[in-house]
Amino acid sequence: MYISYLNLTNFRNYSLLELDFPKQHIVIHGENAQGKTNLLEALYILSTTRSYRTGNEKEFIKWSALEEPDSITRIIGNFQKEQGDIKIEIDMHYAKSEITQKRIKVNDIPRRASEVIGQVNMVMFEAQDCQLTSGPAILRRRYLDLINSQIDHHYLYSLQRYNRVLTQRNHLLRLINEGQARADQLDFWDNELSINGVYLILHRQQMINGINESVRTIFRKLSQNKESLKLKYLPKLKYDMEATQKENEELILGKFHKQLQESRGREIAAGLTLVGPHRDDFRFLVNDVDVGIYGSRGQQRITVLAIKLAQAEYSKKQTGEYPIMLLDDILSELDITHRRQLLEFVTSLPQIILTTTDIHTIEPFFLEQSVKLKVIQGNIE
């Protein structure tokens, strides 16, 4: 898959930008604060309908456009996929500096955000991602959930439903605690929580198995054959690796119900759901040692790099198509050997889009296959 056309209107520091892309890698270069990352962000929004940088979508609107009446912030992208071309458009209307309407269209037909996720898959790698190994568990869950949502629409559905049940159930627990509701009203929510939760647990494990298949080889190469990397899933509800999917479904469902029963008193007292995959974690083990705790920063960076490359492989295996890879100023953080290895790895993928402040840090063999775009103050040269 690759992007063939991008159009930005009043997005961040771009007033109007129109770009055609050939089926090639793209190197975006330029000095700091010119708008390189904004381009990657726009692409990422087309893929997921949301930004990885901010939850406040007001930031998307170009400052000078905020005061203009009836103006609009718009991102349009055309993508060439094996099953045919696809056009994604995201419009944001605003009044008095507030976004009043966000509309998403796929091939000019209005769609919900959940229908867009999975249409155009991308793997993003940026400096903040190094926190994946050592940061709080919620970062890892979010990462896991995004990968699965992109390749399995039912996963996204179960996740949204699970989160909604969680909110409702937590409120109900508080009402019961205050004596305003009865404990038997929990039955429906317990049932929904466990059915959707089991789907999440099983598919998280499945994805981790899938990523582990390719991450081992990738990490071996990156670490000069010395070390082995493995993802380990730590579900709150234990899993039987030897059993079949069907057996596990029943096994985990049974355990889920049992634990909900056992912890009901504690949950009512806390006003919080304490059992379930919303509290899961997974860890990165290098030679069986947790790299998030004991690894150096350099080692953590290589770990995340290997995971992201394995994610591209996994996505290809599941959907039949390689995702577009976005690398935001990553090369400057790698030593020369790893920089070269990364570029050699990704060069065979359909399209890599990377940003850099210094184009000379990029190996000539990669530059030869790339389109070079220079960004100066919201314009492309």
Partner 1 sequence: MNNHPVQVAEPIRKLIEEFNKLPGIGPKSAQRLTYYLVRMPEEHARELCDSIIAIKEKLVFCSICQNISETDPCAICQSSERDHTLICVVENPLDIMAMERIRGYNGLYHVLHGVISPMDGIGPDDLKIERLLSRLKTEDTQEVILATNLNLEGEATAMYLQKLITPLGIRVTRLARGLPFGSELEYADEVTLTRALEGRREI
Binding site for partner 1 (CB under 8 A): 95, 100, 115, 153-154, 157, 161, 164-165, 167-169, 171-172, 175, 180-181, 185, 187-189, 192
Enumerate residues 6+ apart whose C-beta is below 8 A from 304. Answer: 125, 129, 130, 132, 133
Q: 365, 37 in Cβ contact below 8 A? A: no
Minimum gap (Å) between residue 112 Cβ and partner 1: 9
Minimum gap (Å) between residue 105 Cβ and partner 1: 14
Minimum gap (Å) between residue 182 Cβ and partner 1: 9
> Smaller CB distance to partner 1: residue 33 or 95?
95
Minimum gap (Å) between residue 154 Cβ and partner 1: 6
- H or E segment to which residue 172 belongs: helix 153-177
> Smaller CB distance to partner 1: residue 154 or 266?
154
> Smaller CB distance to partner 1: residue 160 or 361?
160
Go through 186-218 and write b for each residue having 16 or more CB atoms within 10 A of its CB, e for each that does not.
beebbebbbbbbbbbbbbbbbbbebbbebbeeb
> Smaller CB distance to partner 1: residue 24 or 185?
185
Minimum gap (Å) between residue 127 Cβ and partner 1: 35
Partners of 324 in the beta sheet? 122
> Smaller CB distance to partner 1: residue 176 or 324?
176
Please spell the DSSP secondary structure of 26-67, one letter per residue: EEEE-STTSSHHHHHHHHHHHHHSS-SS-S-GGGGB-HHHHT
Per DSSP, 206 falls in state H
> Smaller CB distance to partner 1: residue 180 or 224?
180
Q: 67, 122 in Cβ contact below 8 A? A: no
Phi and psi at residue 282, to the nearest 5°: -140, 150
Minimum gap (Å) between residue 186 Cβ and partner 1: 10
